[in-house]
Amino acid sequence: MLPLHFRSSFGSSFRLCFCFSRTVRVSSLVSFPLSLFSVSLRVMSKPPSAFDALMSAAKKNSKSKTSKLSSPPKKRKSPLSTSSQNPSNPKSPKLPSPPITVVEPEQAVKQEELVKPVKQEELVKPEAVKPEPRKVRQLLTSSSSKGKTEELKKQVPQLKQKPSSFDPASIIAWEKGQPVPFLFLALAFDMISQESGRIVITDIVCNMLRTVMLTTPEDLVPVVYLSANRIAPAHEGLELGIGESIISKALAEAYGRNENWIKTQYQKKGDLGLVAKESRSSQPMMWKPEALTIRKVFNTFRLIAKESGKDSQEKKKNHIKALLVAATDCEPQYLIRLLQTKLRIGYAEQTLLAALGQAAVYTEEHSKPPPEIQSPLDKASDIVKQVYSVLPDYDKIISALLTEGLWKLPKTCKFTPGVPIRPMLSKAAKSVTEVLNKFQDVEFTCEYKYDGERAQIHYLENGSVEIYSRQAERNTEKFPDVAAAVSRLKKTSVSSFILDCEIVAYDRATQKLLSFQTLSTRARKKVEIEDIKVNVCVFAFDLLYLNGQELLQENLRVRREHLYASFEEESGFLQFATALTSNDVEEIQNFLDQAVGASCEGLIIKTLNEDATYEPAKRSLNWLKLKKDYMDNLGDSVDLVPIAAFHGRGKRTGVYGAFLLACYDNNNEEFQTICKIGTGFSESVLVERSSSLRSQVISKPKSYYRFGETINPDVWFEASEVIVILTFLVDFTIILFPNCAVAYHHYRVILSLNGITVSLF
């Protein structure tokens, strides 16, 4: 008996006991990467982590009947090889390899007992050793798990078939009712990433969902959430909250890699998921943990999101490590991408919704489409999209889909207070004339377009108030003053409502609107009314729900009448959006000038009666925005210099993906950073720009570069090239940015280079 204490790179320690004869080498029993372990003769007392728990489970599955150590080693019976017991009998039966035993630190015996020889009579006879096939298969040398993986990889390409000819039963690699393997989803993602056609991608997703609905319907919710790269509805505010540094550390520790190596490979490949896949493929393990399931991954992601308080980052890292250790094939690649919330496989959520509707049509036998529906597949897609726009909650939609059926969804999944809908959006117009041409013979109204935060305010029957952002994020804690104002200013006849509005920074002393930049200085969480330094005013322009009645299908004129009748205005607290109903060009032009003069962005023009319903999540031609920064001949230009860059990732690997731009301050003789530009470049422009700037790379920033402490570009440049930026300005406001004080539009700069967008510091 030779027990060896090992300390792993994961921070846990354990002891391996090997039983062997003189003719059997340790290397013949087990192989493992030496990079993961270093010999240690001391017992560690560190509390077990999620990774330790995973390894402990694997250990239990791999123990044989004779592997328990409840007494000192001298009383333990171990098998001898046949050649050791009976060397004169060459035909003695061949023994199976001795089982590998893992001993927890608390079971460790004294060091002097470890070297005590085992007496010959204490050894069990060869025929007494009977390996347990079910447990032995957990070793990585097992062929059964590899066989299942290969079988699944052969079956998954069938997902590409047309749904009309696809049979979900032909692809089943797990028993009905059993959790769906995560590998199934990862392989489907991999197949989708190689396609570019929307129809083909929709077919793959549809067939994937059908397979899950047939075998394990309870896994449909996690499958859909992971496919949407989410773990919960947006309004719940449940996010993973992990940065790339934590993911990189977990990846390095799980696969025995150096963090610098991970970083270098990440820069080369531009995809941390590919780095994970490559690392896993070259990293064998002693024991094979249980295969990942979609349910396990989804629940672990939610657990990661809920970790908080002391050591929460360490706990999150250990959860990620446990998943990575159990991952095989392409699973590490998509685990990492899901953790980064950058799935990058080329399909949007609208495709997922369409596929879900089509999958329901093919799967439902008890729910036939109504006879008047000519195209069930198209109608099913439209129903799911429409339902999701008013109830963006996959848990509720899928539950109703599986219990009540697809065709009843509009009745079972309705617009509900407490669950934000996606706001209706507008399209841009460049002139008053264009507006009049589009709205010929249609009555329309013009409203000020305020420069604040779009908000959806829900007042529930129990008197509670919830405030949501345009992205459905919960902002109730951020605006307690708004919650108090709407509760106070609603009329007594109002018991519930949902208000569409803009929250704008407001100076009540001068009764003037303040900039979005001022609004953004407010704290975001746990705001107390008495601590508020930036006051806000609610500018209400639409009412979507009133006293238990949904108003989405009413035209704007009716909704506006309900709005005016349901609230009392109070200057600086709650006001109705300033509006004008006219089709006169000069009147509208003057109204636009008034809006700009009042520190607004411009106008929103909306139809009043015809085609005037509220269309959630839709950028509609029935709403047009007219802003001076969209109008011709109102631009100006500035000269900026690229002084640094960030390596491109994904499709931009090998070129610079974003640039840090600065302007020159003649008074202080220094370059001050203005913005970071990243999107809108064509591939040819990126290649050309990257090539020309590589000769200007320097080892560190110049002493006369002024930039924020949080700015950490990958490379720095000599200030040599000039980029001409065309800016469209609604108004000039002198704002002191962290690094530059210039006359600039208070929060937006639009570039002329192929529609490039920027972020200001």
pLDDT, tens only, 407-452: 999 999 999 899 999 899 999 998 888 999 999 889 999 999 999 9
Query: Cα-flanking dihedrals φ and ψ of residue 474, to 5°?
Result: -80, 120
Contact (CB, 8 A) for 675 and 658:
no
Cα 604 from Cα 601, distance rounded (Å):
10
Q: For 314, how many CA atoms within 13 A lie in the half-sphere containing its CB?
A: 8
Q: Which amino acid is at 238?
A: L
Low-confidence ranges of the chain (pLDDT < 70): 1-146, 282-287, 365-367, 629-638, 679-680, 721-761
Predicted confidence at residue 27, as pLDDT, reads 36
CA distances from 255 to 60, 129, 485 (A): 22, 34, 55
DSSP 175: -
Predicted confidence at residue 556, as pLDDT, reads 97
Contact (CB, 8 A) for 237 and 255:
no
Cα 418 from Cα 460, distance rounded (Å):
7
Predicted confidence at residue 270, as pLDDT, reads 83
Domains annotated for the chain, with CATH where assigned, are 2-136 (no CATH), 235-340 (1.10.3260.10), 349-412 (no CATH), 425-630 (3.30.470.30), 635-760 (2.40.50.140)
Predicted confidence at residue 130, as pLDDT, reads 44
Cα 675 from Cα 258, distance rounded (Å):
34
Predicted confidence at residue 118, as pLDDT, reads 45
Q: For 508, how many CA atoms within 13 A lie in the half-sphere containing its CB?
A: 12
Active site residues: 449
Q: What is the 3-state secondary structure (H, E, C) of 323-340?
A: HHHHCCCCHHHHHHHHHH
Cα 371 from Cα 16, distance rounded (Å):
69
Residue 309 three-state SS: coil
Predicted confidence at residue 41, as pLDDT, reads 37
Cα 381 from Cα 350, distance rounded (Å):
9
For the purposes of burial, counting CB atoms within 10 Å of the CB of 302, is it exposed (0-12), middle (13-18) or buried (19 or more)? middle
Predicted confidence at residue 628, as pLDDT, reads 74
Cα 280 from Cα 254, distance rounded (Å):
9
Cross-strand bridge partners of residue 37: 8
DSSP 747: S
Cross-strand bridge partners of residue 670: 665
CA distances from 754 to 101, 640, 656, 686 (A): 63, 16, 16, 12
711 closest CA partner among 675, 678, 663, 743: 675
Query: Cα-flanking dihedrals φ and ψ of residue 394, to 5°?
Result: -65, -35
Bridge pairing between strands 497-507 and 453-459: antiparallel
Angle at 434 between CA 431 and CA 439, to 5 degrees: 130
Predicted confidence at residue 680, as pLDDT, reads 66
Bridge pairing between strands 602-607 and 444-449: antiparallel
- Tokens found for residue 153: 């990889």
Cα 552 from Cα 562, distance rounded (Å):
12
Predicted confidence at residue 656, as pLDDT, reads 87
Model pTM score: 0.70
Q: For 271, how many CA atoms within 13 A lie in the half-sphere containing its CB?
A: 19
Cα 94 from Cα 24, distance rounded (Å):
13
Cα 219 from Cα 227, distance rounded (Å):
12
DSSP 93: P
Contact (CB, 8 A) for 693 and 656:
yes
Q: For 516, how many CA atoms within 13 A lie in the half-sphere containing its CB?
A: 15
